Structure 1
């Protein structure tokens, strides 16, 4: 049986600090999850048809040639009524998702703060530093249309930004990251156990952790490992720490820190340095600095691993580059386009990695069989529901 409808919002796992949705709030998230699926599938397919039947022929007639890059395609497609209609719906669906999650968090701020404090107070595994400034490239826009972005605070000690993010990502992905939206982290656990059976890193560092949903599975999988997650956004760290504690990840430390300067950590301190869908949030200046710092704090024989979308190469059709670029111009992702045009292998070589130490692979989020029961039998239709990432990795030579 084919599953065309995303799982209901009631399938999300409500850990002790998770915001409680009213009937209407859950119904809005269910509507938005289904709208997003409809936009990415049925309606989204009309973009390619519009390009092939209207936009490309008109471009050829006007210029006497095909487009030479994704930017020419974008300018031409932005004049097409179908693409404009689809783009408006996608933008509005994200704004509605953010507003629903935000009002849900703000409605219960006092209760959320109280529950978070129960897990945060008196613990040394949350280390905030008010001297850490949010970089301008993060503060200039509300990333993903999220009001106040990851670092916005409505009052001292606020956790609403983290709660909003955690509450809404299940609806945004249609359950494709699992009931705890931790499919990326679960996939990392599966990958490392397959690639290096029996390996137990001494220390793991997660950069740009937000609420820690991608690092908690690793901390739970390696309970004897010291795991550190850093970010510049205090509200997300407060919430993420409480979330991790509630889920039993007691070996996971959340630290407020800018990854461009990790001088607090000595050279070679970590056996594993990673990011999950974080590099595209970085400016062209910050990204190489962070990779260099990651290389410095990585021990010889250690692993650097970045989960991202694939880079725009000559092998990727220009239309695909254009459609993947949509978020850069319509979803408050100002660095998305430039980052995916980088040669990530060269970036890592420039940071110090030996060329023969580099590798690329694919990592698929672990399918949650409680949400997609048919996945227990390995059915392709359910496996395809899970998110998929491109991964850039390297093992540091001595």
Structure 2
């Protein structure tokens, strides 16, 4: 398989409750996967060329100075025809992805709901609480253009939001997260095995779990641990629990809960508290509260671990900050820009994790060799074949 061509959508592992695409629906996802790859590579490269040869010289001529921040770069770039074309194509590709996933799910919603019930009913590993309110910062916007966001229901008690989310992840990432879109979770397992060989956490907590694709690998890797995944959205929890059961993670518990208030868990209850690409979907008020609650329920000597995009620092060029900001203004990620400009290390320190206990590391999604048979070993360069995140972590000081 060529390195620059995403794998076919049919490579996705269709577990028992995975939405089954028709020939045309799969073809549409294949087009979108390759279109996204082309946009992020060949076409996106033109943004920097436009900035350096047209936009920046014009800004200097008009203002007599360099841009002061990423926002000035954005306003200047938004007038450039190349960037406008790239941006419009990228936005439309996401809308097409969401509408294709929604069409796939609604066509078979009766079957999907029935399958989910078979895995969910009669099990105490799914705890839904209707009294949990959807935070306004989550309910006010359709996150990354997903109709109804994570909380939307076509009818009461359905799994449509989770099924749509699951069906499109593979196409959106061009297969970089693997056949089960769990490359982030697999990366967590590989990282902890290298960092702390033989460490066996007793309890693990995943915040903002959605469909659990990042926590299932941890639950399978530590079968004797109590693993809990929480989210405020019932539809994705219903689907995620059924998905986990179908994949053999039978003891993984899905609980509807707001991470700002985890009073049901005592202090020091968990050995590992973690998030994966979750912090950027939190408001400026919610994020420090959730970090503080996570630290409260973390045991002395335990691990807090957040997989995220890198923070904006003075060392990061303004053009890169601007380009990374695209999702905040064009992909319904309203807190993206502000979150990446926060001092996350200070927030963790204020919550009780001193800076000397903190670390930042890079974590690369584990390549699925059934999709990329020629993928290099984890310690080798993979030339952009898999997703890479920054990880912000800390080992809580012993009591």
The alpha carbon displacement at 1:349 in A equals 0.2
What pairs up with 1:202-221 in 2 under 5 angstroms? 202-221=202-221
User: Does the residue aligned with 1:375 lie in a helix, a strand or coil?
Assistant: coil
CA distance in 1, matches of 2:344, 2:202: 27
Asked whether the 8 Å contact 1:274–1:306 carries over to 2, the reply is: yes
Corresponding position of 2:334 = 334
Which residue is 2:142 aligned to? 142
Paired position in structure 2 for 1:196: 196
Alignment of 1:169 onto 2:169: yes
Q: Contact 2:376 / 2:382 at 8 angstroms: preserved in 1?
A: no
Q: SS state of the match for residue 185, structure 1?
A: helix
Which TM-score applies when normalising by structure 1? 0.98
The gaps in structure 2 that reach 5 residues or longer are none
- In structure 2, the partner of 1:115 is 115
Sort the Cα spacing of 1:377 and 1:363 in 2 relative to 1 into closer, same or farther, 3 A.
closer
Matched with 2:61 is 61
Per-residue deviation, 1:57: 0.4
What's 1:93 paired with? 93
Q: Which runs of 4+ in 1 moved over 2 A?
A: 376-384
Is the counterpart of residue 389 in structure 1 residue 389 in structure 2?
yes
The structural deviation recorded for 1:384 is 2.8
Residue deviations 1:98-127 (CA, integer Å, cap 9, x gap): 000011001100000010001000000000
Distance 2:383 2:74 in 1: 32
Q: In 1, Cα distance between the equivalents of 2:301 and 2:378?
A: 34
Would the aligned equivalents of 2:175 and 2:181 in 1 still touch at CA under 8 Å?
yes
Equivalent position of 2:12 in the other structure? 12
**Counterpart of 2:227?**
227
Partner of 1:351 in structure 2?
351
The answer on 1:360 being equivalent to 2:366 is no
Matches within 5 A, 1:282-301: 282-301=282-301
| Residue 156 (structure 1) shift | 1.3
1:166-191 per-position Cα deviation (integer Å, ceiling 9, x unaligned): 00000000000000000000000000
Q: Distance in 2 between matches of 1:271 and 1:312?
A: 29
CA contact (8 A) 1:372 1:382 kept: no
Q: Secondary structure at the match of 2:375?
A: helix
Return the TM-score normalized by structure 2: 0.98
Contact 2:3 2:385 in 1 (8 A): no
CA distance in 2, matches of 1:355, 1:377: 32
- SS of the counterpart of 1:114? helix
Q: Matched residues in 2 for 1:38 and 1:385: separation?
A: 14
Q: 2:270 & 2:207 partners in 1: Cα distance?
A: 12
Aligned to 1:105: 105
Question: Contact 2:349/2:355 (CA < 8 Å) preserved in 1?
Answer: yes
CA distance in 2, matches of 1:99, 1:85: 21
CA contact (8 A) 2:205 2:274 kept: yes
Q: Secondary structure at the match of 1:374?
A: coil
2: CA distance between counterparts of 1:284 and 1:36? 30
Give the distance between the partners of 1:153 and 1:311, measured in 2 at CA.
34
**Aligned ranges for residues 367-382 of structure 1 at < 5 Å?**
367-375=367-375, 382=382
